Every structure is written in C-alpha cells, then in structure tokens.
A and B are shown apart, each in its own frame.
Chain A
Amino acid sequence: MSGWEQLSQYIMSGLTTGSIYALAALGFCLIYNATHIVNFAQGDFISLGGLMMYTLLGAAGLPALLALPLAVAVVAGLGVVLEAAAVGRAKSREITVLIFITVAASVLFRGVFKEVWGKQALAVPPLSPDVPLKLLGATFTPQNLWILGITLAAIAVLIYFFNHTLTGRAVRAVAINPKAAALMGIDTRRMVRLSFALAGALGALAGAIITPITTASYNVGVLMGLKGFAAAVLGGYGNFLGAIVGGLSLGLLESLGAGALSSTYKDVIAFVVLLLVLFVRPRGLLGGGEETRV
C-alpha cells in the first residue's frame, strides 16, 4: 500500500469515528446549555442505541427503516426519564450533586443493560449489505457512508430546528437566559426535557450507526461518550459548531496518531488531548470567554 493510500485510509476511518464523537459532543452541549451539567450518561445513550438496533434488526427482524427511528425514540425516551425522574427531581441544585446523579444513572443503566443483553459482544447487521468500496485508495464499506451521511443529516436537522422553528428558538432562549425565557412565557422545564430527549436521540443515532462496525455491548458507548466529551472540550464546551469541529478533529487525530505511533495507545490520545486543551486553552477552539459576576 502506498503512503497516499494509507493516508486516505486513515482519513476515512478518522472521519467515521469523528462523526460519532461529534454526535456525542453535540449531546453533551445540548444538556450543558440547558442545565449547566455534564451528562455522564451520554455514553450509555450510545450503548442503548446499538443494543436496540441489535434487538430490533437482528432478533425482531424489523427493516432498518423502521428499526432506526424506533431505537432513536426509545433512547430519547430514556433521556426524558433521566430528566423527569432524576435530574429534575433532585432536592439539591448544586452542580456537583446533579452531575453525580448522571454518574449514578450511568452506572445503573449499565447494570440494567448487562442484565438484559448480557456481557458479550453482539453483532449488529449493517444498514445495507457489506460490499467493499474504494475511493482515492481507501477501502471502506457502505456503512462508512451511512455514518457520514446520517451525521450530516442530523446536523442539518439540528441547524434547521434551532434556527427556523419556534420550539428550537425557545430551547436556545432558555440556554441563554432561563429567567428571561420564563418571563416570556416559555415553559423552561419542557425545553430542558426536550434537550435531554434530543441528546438521547443523538446518542442513539451514534450507537445505531457505529455498532455494525464495532459490535454492540452493554458498555460499548462508555469510551465513545468520554471521547465525545473530550471533543466537546476541544471545540469549546457548549458550542455547537465547536462540537462538530472538535469531534471530527479528534477522530482524525486519533486515527492518524494511531497510524503514526501505535494503535495500542489509540485510546490514550483523546485524553491526552483533553488534558492539553484544559491546560493551554480551556475555552477550546471556538469557545468565548465568560466573567463571573459578584
């Protein structure tokens, strides 16, 4: 294989995993903007997305066109439950407590997934039959194209939603200033819940499209979720464009880094990047500054 072919191979796989990180990072941003907490269960949304696809596609034999929206709906529902039954119900409003509620929920979710689906890796059928494709020397499968396409589509839908629908603008208003939004008659609690639902949906989507490549398991999303977080920090925490840029850059960095060094330490790269960003530029690539007020 020539150097060029290898490079385009790395870029292809970097963009593929980068899409997943971007989707996860967007989920983190949505919930952060609505509540100022980091949602640790974002990775479990990814796991559940994959596990649902395994059950719906494989065991129940549904067509992909039906299974995908169903999986997304189920995980979005779990997002709403997380807000309604846990985060929104907490007696304390202290951020540390709220964040730890999501940590606890994540542990609980993982335990439940393990009981239902077991510990083994489960093969998820791809969205369309595997045939090797070739482009600029890179070999890939239709699933890679599905991942890129669906991620792009999800981003387009989000952009439309936040800029051109009343509800989308209401969610943004709540993120900018919850008090003012409430005074204008926006049901802030509903918007927060909607953010959790959207974060769940994005997680499900990520899990549904990546697990045909990685296989599904009760904890497959944990690492992806964490890297999604690293991507969000890299882009500028809470910034949507930053999440996308951060996700794709992290995916590329990881795949090129693994190619250049050794794939053994591939998983370390994201966290080294995370620590470096926090060290050098905590606002991330695209984040703005913020003053505390006293």
Chain B
Amino acid sequence: MEPLLKVEALDMSFGGVQALSEVSFSALAGRITAVIGPNGAGKTTAINCISGVYRPQGGRVLFGGQAITGLAPHVLARQGLTRTFQNLQVFTNLTVLENVMVGLHGVTGKGFVSAMLRLPGQRAEERRIRARALEALTFLGLAARAGLPAGQLSYGDRKRVELARALVARPKLVLLDEPVAGLNPAETEEMGRVLLEVRRQGVGLLLVEHDMSLVMRVSDQVVVLHFGRQIAQGDPQAIQRHPEVLRTYLGCQDQPPPGVEPAIALEAAHA
C-alpha cells in the first residue's frame, strides 16, 4: 500500500542544535504510527515540519503522494492534515462548541461578505457546522460542556477539545503531540479507546507520546528518534527488543533487567 505520509531525509537545526537530521519514515492511512524518543529528540520539531509550522532546511514531505514541503499550515488542513499541540492551544475566548466549529474552517467556505450580509446559504452552512461540531463533541463525551468558555475547562477536557477540533473535519491524517501527557490513568485509558476508534474509522494517526504502555498497545508501527536521528522503525514487539532502542532508554544495557516487561522498562527508564 502506498503510504499516506512519507517523510524523506528531513533536516532542521536551530542555531547549533541539530533537531532533525536525515529523518525518514512513513505512515499508513487508517493506521497508528507512533514516534517516540527521549526529551529533545526532535519529535515536536518533526510534527512542526510536517504540518507546515516550520519549513525544513532539507528533505521533503509527501502527503498522499504529493510533495507538501513548505506549504502553509492552513493549506495542509484543507488537504486533510491536522494536528494537536503539546502545549495546549485551545481558543480560550471561544466556547467549547465554537472551538470545535473552528475545526471545520478548512472544509467550509462562506466568507466575509456572506457573513456580514447573511446571504442565502450562509445560515444553512452555519447549521451544518454546528451539527457536525456537536457530533464530534458527543463522540468525545464533551457534549455537556458545549456552552462553556474553553478557558474554564480542566486540563484533561482541554486535551479532548483539541482532539475534537482536529478530528471534526474528518481529516486523512492527524498529528498528535503527546495526547495523554498529564492525564490520569482513567483518562489515558479512555483516550486510548478513542484513538483506536478513530483508527477504525479509517483516519491515520501520527502519535508522539512518552506513555510507552499506550504506544505499545495501540500502535501499528513505531519510529524511534534520538538526538534528531532516527534509530529504529518497526512494529511494537520488534521495537521493544531493538538493541539500540534499549540502549537509548536504559543506558548501556542490552537487555532489560530480568523479570521486567520491556514496555514497562522503557517507561521506567524514561521517567
């Protein structure tokens, strides 16, 4: 199968820091591809390069077979590539519902003039936007909070609003930057189920996450970054036994300590 997203030899540096060097991987439609690595490995930078926030200094990004390197984020959103943020970026001055309604911006089209003059079609589009946003909120269990200002939500709910906003337009691929960071175990469990359900609906996910048990449970593929370089790619089982990954996470040992599950060892080493 032709991969939905293909990243080829991405290079990005900030001053002296080489955040990405020659990173190449791919992600399939309707599959979960995890990107893991220690702090500062370049995971967020990779997401920023793919989503058009940064223009990579080298390499290219293909989405659905088309080169999208350097395209603006809003153009990519219209092509079905959306994302969430590690440091939450909900629109605090909008309500929860409005936050998700903005998520449909790229797939709707009424402009300034029709909005000001309430031209025919404008109201109908507004109703459609509202209905779809409510649907997405219901899917994430947030319907009861629809009218609240997003600034008043708990941390966990904000994470879910971000996800709803990224999903509502039925994108082909969503880049998730640490969707369960800071969530409690119950919320994490719930989020895992949501991700699998989204996958079942045919949406591809690129999942950047430190929570190894979640990554190992839901991912189809795992990519490992370390100091901006890609050190491994494979299915979760293979990654858990990959010697270089273990070295990265556990210092110089080639094997996890006896009796410790690999996923938990990775987790512990990270914490």
Q: Is the CB of A294 within 8 A of B14?
A: no
Question: Using Cβ atoms and an 8 Å threshold, which residues of chain B touch A291?
Answer: 14, 54
B247-268 residues at the A interface, CB under 8 angstroms: none
**Is B53 among interface residues, defined by CB-CB distance under 8 A?**
yes
**Is B89 among interface residues, defined by CB-CB distance under 8 A?**
yes
Residue of A nearest to B51 (CB): A294
Residue of B nearest to A292 (CB): B53
Q: Interface residue tally of chain B, by bracket?
A: under 10
Question: Using Cβ atoms and an 8 Å threshold, which residues of chain A touch B66?
Answer: none
**Contact indicator per residue, chain A 278-294, by CB within 8 Å of chain B (1) or not (0):** 00000000000001101
Question: Using Cβ atoms and an 8 Å threshold, which residues of chain A touch B54?
Answer: 291
**Contact indicator per residue, chain B 235-252, by CB within 8 Å of chain A (1) or not (0):** 000000000000000000
Question: Using Cβ atoms and an 8 Å threshold, which residues of chain A touch B53?
Answer: 292, 294
Closest CB-CB distance, A239 to chain B, in whole Å?
Answer: 17
CA distance A281 to B62 in the complex (A): 30
Closest CB-CB distance, B49 to chain A, in whole Å?
Answer: 11
Q: Is the interface of B mostly helix, strand, loop or mixed?
A: loop
Closest CB-CB distance, B44 to chain A, in whole Å?
Answer: 8
Closest CB-CB distance, B83 to chain A, in whole Å?
Answer: 10
Closest CB-CB distance, A195 to chain B, in whole Å?
Answer: 24
Residue of B nearest to A288 (CB): B15
A200-251 residues at the B interface, CB under 8 angstroms: none
**Is B48 among interface residues, defined by CB-CB distance under 8 A?**
yes
Residue of A nearest to B87 (CB): A294
Question: Using Cβ atoms and an 8 Å threshold, which residues of chain A touch B85?
Answer: 294
Question: Using Cβ atoms and an 8 Å threshold, which residues of chain A touch B87?
Answer: 294
B1-36 residues at the A interface, CB under 8 angstroms: 14
Question: Using Cβ atoms and an 8 Å threshold, which residues of chain B touch A292?
Answer: 53
CA distance A32 to B171 in the complex (A): 41
CA distance A145 to B53 in the complex (A): 51
CA distance A122 to B192 in the complex (A): 76
Question: Using Cβ atoms and an 8 Å threshold, which residues of chain B touch A294?
Answer: 44, 48, 53, 85-87, 89
Question: Using Cβ atoms and an 8 Å threshold, which residues of chain A touch B48?
Answer: 294
CA distance A105 to B127 in the complex (A): 47
CA distance A292 to B52 in the complex (A): 12
CA distance A292 to B44 in the complex (A): 13
Residue of A nearest to B55 (CB): A291
CA distance A244 to B226 in the complex (A): 44
**Contact indicator per residue, chain B 52-77, by CB within 8 Å of chain A (1) or not (0):** 01100000000000000000000000
CA distance A291 to B44 in the complex (A): 14
CA distance A206 to B86 in the complex (A): 48
CA distance A294 to B89 in the complex (A): 9
Closest CB-CB distance, B52 to chain A, in whole Å?
Answer: 12
CA distance A291 to B48 in the complex (A): 11
CA distance A291 to B87 in the complex (A): 16
B33-53 residues at the A interface, CB under 8 angstroms: 44, 48, 53
CA distance A294 to B84 in the complex (A): 11
Closest CB-CB distance, B164 to chain A, in whole Å?
Answer: 19
Question: Using Cβ atoms and an 8 Å threshold, which residues of chain A touch B86?
Answer: 294
A250-294 residues at the B interface, CB under 8 angstroms: 291-292, 294
CA distance A294 to B54 in the complex (A): 10
Question: Using Cβ atoms and an 8 Å threshold, which residues of chain A touch B44?
Answer: 294
Question: Using Cβ atoms and an 8 Å threshold, which residues of chain A touch B89?
Answer: 294
Residue of A nearest to B177 (CB): A294
Closest CB-CB distance, A202 to chain B, in whole Å?
Answer: 30
Chosen A-B contacts, 10 in total, with CB atoms closer than 8 Å, are: A291-B14, A291-B54, A292-B53, A294-B44, A294-B48, A294-B53, A294-B85, A294-B86, A294-B87, A294-B89
Closest 5 CB pairs of A and B: A294-B85, A294-B53, A291-B54, A294-B87, A294-B48
Q: A291-B14, A294-B87 given. 8 additional CB < 8 A pairs?
A: A291-B54, A292-B53, A294-B44, A294-B48, A294-B53, A294-B85, A294-B86, A294-B89
